[in-house]
């Protein structure tokens, strides 16, 4: 089974704690090369569960997002001379030359992009206007895949472990985001200490009103840009490469110190949710989730969804009459015995686990949120 490290940039192999050598939930339902969210891969249209078409465009897939790349990952991309990285390297170099959303800590979304993103509704996966600048439409590939950041490394449209899988990846994202912030700050302290000492790593310039430069997707006025980068103006590529070298030289003990108590707490949370994502346990008492959405399909089968509008479970139509018997009033084994006796039917453990993980069936004894 692949390890969690296998899903992350190589740079982290010698840095991250041994926990990350543990098994990764394999997300076989997110069939990216034949995108599970595109209509071509959904002959039964089971993603239009409540009648709303949520299929993604093949020329965007889920990449209607602008990553925030930390300085050392930018440097890693620039330093990777593999021919397979040529297009990704070129796009990063273009970004740096253009200078929009580019600062010594991150290459991130332009302010105008953020404005569009935060004011759009129901557009994820479905608009060219928000397509990632590193996405290659032809072939639908990511040009910087080896170095993708916290959000891109942990996003899946569907999870084999359903809600538990999503919880694991979201928690991993939180941990990775902390690592990216601390590692990028560490690199700044080595190469441009004033950036951290004057609190520029905390200022979020994009939270204020948009400037003319923001609206026209132009870089900062020359004086402001020079002030931000001094003494690295004109040597930004070298700066990013040096950030990569600084982070690469860290030991795992030094990295642990950088994350401090926050890192300890986040890792403990991550361990807890990891188990549920790779080793499911069925609750003693289950009930049909009243919030689950149901769609009857033309072939008489059923698509049900609960924890995510993108992750429906397909079932034979006859299964519904069995599911309603799960009312939470008796243990799972008693319901199954009754189904066998009264309806000459059964729902096996693996099916119940699948339905529970997707929260079509929920733990009747758990506090309802």
Closer residue to ligand SF4 in complex, CB, 15/132: 132
User: Residue 135 CB, nearest distance to ligand SF4 (Å)?
Assistant: 4
Closer residue to ligand SF4 in complex, CB, 168/229: 168
Distance of alpha carbon 42 from alpha carbon 47, whole angstroms: 8
Q: Please tell me whether residue 109 binds ligand SF4 under the rule CB under 6 A.
A: no
Closer residue to ligand SF4 in complex, CB, 42/252: 42
Structure tokens belonging to residue 123: 């557009």
Among 17, 22, 26, 32, contact with ligand SF4 (rule: CB under 6 A): 32
User: Residue 217 CB, nearest distance to ligand SF4 (Å)?
Assistant: 18
Closer residue to ligand SF4 in complex, CB, 132/362: 132
Among 48, 100, 157, 243, contact with ligand SF4 (rule: CB under 6 A): 157
φ/ψ of residue 286, rounded to 5: -120, 150
> Nearest to residue 59, comparing CAs of 157, 146, 154, 126?
126
Closer residue to ligand SF4 in complex, CB, 7/211: 7
Closer residue to ligand SF4 in complex, CB, 144/247: 144
Q: Please tell me whether residue 73 binds ligand SF4 under the rule CB under 6 A.
A: no
Rounded to a whole number of angstroms, the distance between the first and last alpha carbons of the chain is 34
Let me know the angle formed at the C-alpha of 135 by 134 and 141, rounded to the nearest 5 degrees.
125
Among 3, 7, 31, 308, contact with ligand SF4 (rule: CB under 6 A): 31
Q: Please tell me whether residue 228 binds ligand SF4 under the rule CB under 6 A.
A: no
Closer residue to ligand SF4 in complex, CB, 293/308: 308
Distance of alpha carbon 57 from alpha carbon 54, whole angstroms: 10
- Alpha carbon 184 to its chain centroid, in Å, reads 20
Question: Pseudo-torsion of CA 10, 12, 13, 15, nearest 10°?
Answer: 160
Residue 335 CA: distances (Å) to CA of 83, 107, 349: 59, 55, 12
Q: Please tell me whether residue 85 binds ligand SF4 under the rule CB under 6 A.
A: no
User: Residue 358 CB, nearest distance to ligand SF4 (Å)?
Assistant: 16
Among 74, 76, 100, 132, contact with ligand SF4 (rule: CB under 6 A): 132
Site for ligand SF4 in 36-65 (CB under 6 A): 36-37, 56, 61-63, 65
Candidates 25-33, 275-283, 320-328, 356-364 — which segment interacts with ligand SF4 by CB under 6 A? Answer: 25-33
Q: Are 357 and 162 in contact (CB under 8 A)?
A: yes
Up-side HSE of residue 180: CA atoms within 13 Å toward CB?
26
Distance of alpha carbon 351 from alpha carbon 348, whole angstroms: 5
Among 12, 16, 124, 134, contact with ligand SF4 (rule: CB under 6 A): 134
Q: Please tell me whether residue 152 binds ligand SF4 under the rule CB under 6 A.
A: yes
DSSP result, 46-106: TT-TTS---PBPTTTTT--S---EEHHHHHHHHH---GGGHHHHHHHHHHHHH-TTB-SSE
**Count of residues interacting with ligand SF4 (CB under 6 A):** 21
Residue whose entry in the numeric block shows the structure tokens 């959405």: 293
Distance of alpha carbon 149 from alpha carbon 133, whole angstroms: 14
Closer residue to ligand SF4 in complex, CB, 176/319: 176
Tell me the three state secondary structure of residue 168. Answer: helix
Site for ligand SF4 in 339-358 (CB under 6 A): none
Site for ligand SF4 in 190-209 (CB under 6 A): none
Candidates 8-16, 144-152, 180-188, 334-342 — which segment interacts with ligand SF4 by CB under 6 A? Answer: 144-152
Q: Please tell me whether residue 286 binds ligand SF4 under the rule CB under 6 A.
A: no
φ/ψ of residue 19, rounded to 5: -50, -35
Binding site for ligand SF4 (CB under 6 A): 30-32, 35-37, 56, 61-63, 65, 67, 132, 134-135, 142, 144, 148, 152, 156-157
């Amino acid at each position: 089974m692949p390890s969690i490290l296998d899903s992350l940039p190589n740079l982290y192999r010698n840095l991250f704690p041994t926990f990350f050598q543990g098994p990764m939930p394999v997300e076989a339902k997110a069939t990216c090369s034949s995108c599970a969210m595109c209509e071509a891969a959904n002959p039964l249209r089971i993603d239009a569960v409540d009648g709303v078409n949520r299929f993604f465009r093949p020329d965007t897939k889920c990449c209607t997002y602008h990553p925030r790349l930390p300085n050392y990952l930018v440097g890693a991309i620039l330093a990777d001379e593999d021919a397979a990285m040529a297009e990704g390297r070129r796009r990063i170099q273009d970004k740096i030359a253009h200078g929009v959303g580019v600062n010594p800590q991150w290459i991130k979304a332009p302010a105008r992009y953020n404005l569009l993103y935060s004011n759009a509704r129901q557009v994820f996966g479905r608009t060219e206007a928000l397509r990632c600048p590193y996405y290659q439409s032809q072939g639908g590939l990511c040009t910087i895949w080896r170095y993708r950041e916290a959000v891109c490394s942990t996003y899946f449209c569907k999870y084999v472990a359903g809600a538990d899988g999503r919880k694991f990846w979201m928690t991993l994202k939180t941990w990775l985001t902390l690592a990216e912030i601390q590692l990028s700050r560490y690199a700044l302290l080595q190469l441009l200490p004033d950036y951290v000492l004057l609190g520029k790593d905390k200022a979020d310039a994009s939270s204020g009103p948009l400037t003319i430069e923001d609206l026209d997707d132009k870089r900062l006025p020359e004086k402001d840009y020079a002030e931000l980068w001094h003494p690295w103006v004109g040597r930004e590529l070298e700066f990013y490469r040096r950030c990569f070298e600084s982070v690469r030289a860290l030991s795992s003990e030094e990295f642990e110190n950088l994350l401090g108590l926050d890192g300890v707490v986040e890792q403990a949370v991550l361990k807890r949710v990891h188990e549920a994502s790779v080793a499911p346990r069925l609750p003693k008492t289950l009930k049909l989730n009243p919030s689950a959405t149901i769609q009857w399909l033309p072939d008489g089968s059923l698509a049900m969804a609960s924890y995510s509008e993108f992750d429906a479970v397909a079932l034979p139509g006859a299964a519904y009459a069995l599911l309603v018997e799960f009312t939470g009033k008796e243990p799972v084994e008693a319901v199954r015995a009754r189904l066998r006796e009264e309806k000459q039917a059964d729902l096996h453990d693996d099916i119940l686990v699948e339905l529970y993980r997707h929260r079509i069936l929920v733990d009747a004894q758990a506090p309802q949120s």
